[in-house]
């Protein structure tokens, strides 16, 4: 499969996501996005949204095992790092990254994409996979499109 074909697939998924989120705002839009992403991609073992409140990230809607990390200080975790850097972070091997806060022992890789409203990080989409090195360039592209859709419905 070449890059152009990969982009077409991301376009198709992002289009279906836009239809799933259409007409929903706020928490309903977050819930619809989490549900859509979880169902769309079997590699996504845990899908959730964290919302920035002061200097903490607070867990919003999620699907997957309950996480012990309901509130994450910005100084901690892959989640904190992505919010501070204001960029998507992919960790192909969570056990090799000292920033990693474990949610489930089965988790092997993680991707976190910030959500920007008016140029500021307001939250992020966090996805864990039980597969090692589960993410390729399509995943940040899809999550950044999902984050942009959420920003429109914020
Ligand atoms: N692994 C994240 C913590 C959140 S759980 O994965 C749900 C981190 O390192 O920030």
Residues 48, 53, 55, 61, Cα dihedral to 10°? -10
Check if 125 has its Cβ closer than 6 Å to any atom of ligand 1.
no
pLDDT of residue 2: 59
Mean pLDDT by 10 residues, the chain (154 residues): 67 95 96 97 96 98 96 98 98 98 96 97 98 96 97 92
Atom of ligand 1 nearest to the CA of 64: 7
**Residues 114/22, Cβ–Cβ less than 8 Å:** no
pLDDT at 7: 66
Q: Does ligand 1 have an atom closer than 6 angstroms to the CB of 78? A: yes
């Amino acid at each position: 499969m070449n890059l152009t074909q990969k982009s077409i697939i991301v376009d198709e998924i992002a289009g279906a996501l836009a239809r799933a989120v259409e007409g929903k705002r706020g928490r309903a839009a977050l819930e619809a996005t989490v549900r859509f992403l979880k169902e769309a991609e079997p590699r996504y073992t845990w899908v959730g949204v964290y919302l920035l409140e002061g200097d903490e990230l607070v867990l919003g809607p999620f699907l997957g095992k309950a996480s012990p990390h309901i509130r994450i200080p910005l100084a901690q975790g892959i989640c904190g790092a992505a919010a501070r850097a204001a960029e998507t972070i992919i960790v192909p091997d969570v056990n090799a990254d000292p920033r990693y806060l474990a949610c489930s022992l089965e988790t092997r890789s993680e991707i976190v994409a910030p959500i920007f409203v008016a140029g500021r990080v307001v939250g992020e989409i966090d996805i864990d996979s039980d597969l090692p090195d589960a993410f390729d360039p399509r995943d940040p592209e899809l999550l950044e499109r999902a984050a942009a859709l959420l920003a429109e419905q914020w």
